[in-house]
Structure 1
Amino acid sequence: MKSILVYCGANTGKNPAYKLAAETLGKKLAENNIKLVYGAGSVGLMGVVADATLAHGGYVVGVIPDFLIKMEVGHKGLSELHEVETMHERKALMEKLCEGIIALPGGYGSIDELFEILTWAQLGLHSKPIGILNVNGFYDFLLKQLDLMVQEGFLKQESRDLLLIADNVDDLLQKMDDFKPVPHKKWLNRGDA
């Protein structure tokens, strides 16, 4: 992969492990000549992963809606910056600019982005690897919910398997490199929505 989109929090969280994971991811991306694509924020884990990538000589592409620029949360030192009008445009452009997606810990925005990109994969709109960096078990309860969705017949196992999970950067990047997309099936005709 030459570019990875990272979803993560606009806060750093209470556990220092989250910030360390963002720094490690940024460093690994730079060392492997993988562009970071992200939401262009300067705060929280967003700022940490961008700063770490840049500090190690990496290339960082940010995509930000105008209203967030006006709130002065945009990163001012990126390699490339795209300004858009809406959050929907932001998500679509970020997906277009990447070859894989990683979710670090975050809040509503990160979860929204993760589930939207998973839905797009389920519908066959892309076949890019999607991974969760499950730092400190942050996503354990979410993963249990996904398993319950499969158990109760609301999610097919094929859709559940679209999400790759690891608790460290190296393992997650390896899983993403090894990912083989399953040929798209008509998910909605099979009752999976």
Structure 2
Amino acid sequence: MGTLEFKTICVFCGCNLGKKKSYQYATIDLDKELITGVTIGELKPVADMHQRKTEMTRNSDAFIAMSGGYDTFEELFEVINWAQLDIHNKPVGLLNVDGYYNSLPSFIDQAIDKGFIKPNARPIIVSASNAIKLIEKLEAPRHKRVKT
């Protein structure tokens, strides 16, 4: 794929394997796209979950949510909300393996239609079914959102 635009990408994922092998294969494919052969990272003790998420956001250039449960959803929605509040302007992607996240964009569209989310917040997240396409979308120039 070439050199990534991002130096660090925060990946949210479940701690369980899921029922489909495709979730596991997607993890391997994403790993192949992201790992450069250089050991990176730092162990940084934090006081609580809020500080952990703050540090992850501060030290990441982009975010990817893989298949997961409540913890993954909570982390995903926090970075979406922080983008909406202009706390960061980093891309957020859904690795939509086997349609796992299909209902989320339609749910967000419904919230927009009902007036709970402003339409200019819709482009905060991008989605793709595989790692290569998702990273391409995350690296693509994004449309400027109108300030609320």
**Fold match by TM threshold 0.5:** yes
> Once superposed, what is the RMSD of the aligned Cα atoms?
1.4
The match for 1:82 is 44
Q: Which has the larger radius of gyration?
A: 1
For structure 2, the residue ranges without an aligned partner over 5 or more in a row are 1-5
- Amino-acid identity (%): 38
Q: Distance in 2 between matches of 1:18 and 1:82?
A: 29
Q: Of Structure 1 and Structure 2, which has the larger fraction of its residues in strand?
A: 1
Q: Report if aligned partners of 1:123, 1:184 keep a CA contact under 8 Å in 2.
A: no
Is 1:59 the counterpart of 2:33? The answer is: no
Shift of residue 184, structure 1, vs aligned partner: 6.1
The match for 1:17 is 22
Runs of 4+ in 1 over 4 A off after TM superposition: none
Q: Distance in 2 between matches of 1:139 and 1:11?
A: 17
Counterparts in 2 of 1:165-176, with a 5 A limit?
165-176=127-138
Deviations 1:58-117 (A, max 9, x none): 4343xxxxxxxxxxxxxxxxxx22221211111000011110000001000100011110
The match for 2:139 is 177
For structure 1, the residue ranges without an aligned partner over 5 or more in a row are 34-56, 62-79, 188-193
Relative CO higher for 1 or 2, CA cutoff 8 Å, sep ≥ 6? Answer: 2
